[in-house]
Amino acid sequence: MGSDSLSVMLRVIVINVILSLAGLLIAIAITEVAIDRRFDIPTTTGPILDSPLPDMHDPRSPGTSHVTFETGRERTDIFDQLGGRARSSQMDYGKAHTIAMVGDSFCYGSENDYDDTLQAMLDRRFGERANIVNFGTPGSSSIYYPHTVLAFRQRFPRPLDVLLVSLYVDMQVGDVPRMLQFYREMGTSTYRGVPMKTARAQRIASSTLARVLFEIELFLRRHSSTYNLLLPPQPGTMYWISLRKTLTRPMFPELEGQLLANLKALATAADVPPERTVVWFVASNREAEALRREHRRGCASLWLGHLWRAQMPPS
């Protein structure tokens, strides 16, 4: 009797395990079919490195929406069939010409309803004759723009006629500080063509187990939406290096060279010549506020100095 009871219990346990595994596999299959969170992680051999954070710089899942709470109110952003921000989840991109926007949060239209974005203004002005597609991604910088455009063009194979590029000219958190943070975090090391920190590349190269785990993760990032949803890539806490106190004139040639190299790589990725590229220099409110604060402190120091001298007894 005891052995029969044990046999029944074992069968029940086995059946429960099989049902649980079957349910898990069905859930994974539904997730893979319903949600596209696979990451395109192209390799590189050149000096312009691709994005280490594909969740930030790749297109969003096509035809979805995202609710955010900013400046004390709720806003819903809608993503079209390309994964870019748009008026609706299914846009008619059948017009003869295309204007593509690429940039950071200013280009994307963060903290703004769609009708208040530059994208909507361009659509109202040129929408009858041209497709207006938005490749902007918040937090991005020019070093990521080539990768972003290539990722979007896999979903939009038609030629681009005009390219609008936004550059945030802020020496605290703008394009150049973000570019420098990328080089600090990522360096120029690669393993099998994938950009990464030099220390990580050395660890992978020196350990068989690390190489196996790297290959497994790379495969899952590229092919499994479930894996990316459960274990999303973790961005760094800071994505810029402020130059406000350290920027000097001798640094200009190198920074200029890096920026021009990024724009050249972008032109190649977009296949748009310079004469059909518009660069939008986004003014920095942070810089203006910092200068205003410094001016106020300077005026206060000058006033206190005059007051101190006025109260000193004559010699």
Convert the pLDDT of each residue in 203-247 to its tens digit.
Answer: 888 999 999 999 998 888 888 888 888 887 765 545 667 777 777
Give the residue with greater pLDDT, 49 vs 233. Answer: 233
Taking all residues of the chain, what is their mean pLDDT, rounded to a whole number?
81
pLDDT band, very low/low/confident/very high, at 100 (cuts 50, 70, 90): very high
Residue 46: is its pLDDT beyond 60? no
170: pLDDT strictly greater than 90: no
> Are 172 and 286 in contact, with CB atoms under 8 Å apart?
yes
How far apart are alpha carbons 287 and 119 in whole angstroms? 25
d(CA 32, CA 269): 29
Dihedral of CA atoms 260, 261, 267, 269 in degrees, nearest 10, equals -150
Q: Which of 248, 249, 239, 251 is nearest to 183 (CA)?
A: 239
Evaluate if residue 104 carries a pLDDT over 60: yes
Say how far apart CA 296 and CA 257 lie, in whole Å: 35
Residue 248 has pLDDT above 70, yes or no: yes
Of residues 50, 256, 40, 229, the one with CA closest to residue 146:
50
Tell me the C-alpha distance between 143 and 63, whole Å. Answer: 27
What residue has token string 């955010």?
68
Q: Per-residue confidence at 304, pLDDT binned at 50, 70, 90? A: very low
What pLDDT is recorded for position 93? 94
* pTM tops 0.75: no
Asked whether residue 34 carries a pLDDT value surpassing 90, the answer given is no
Look at residue 9 in the predicted model and tell me its pLDDT: 83
Residue 187 clears pLDDT 70, i.e. is over it: no
What's the token pair of residue 196?
């990464």
Q: Is the pLDDT of residue 179 over 90?
A: no
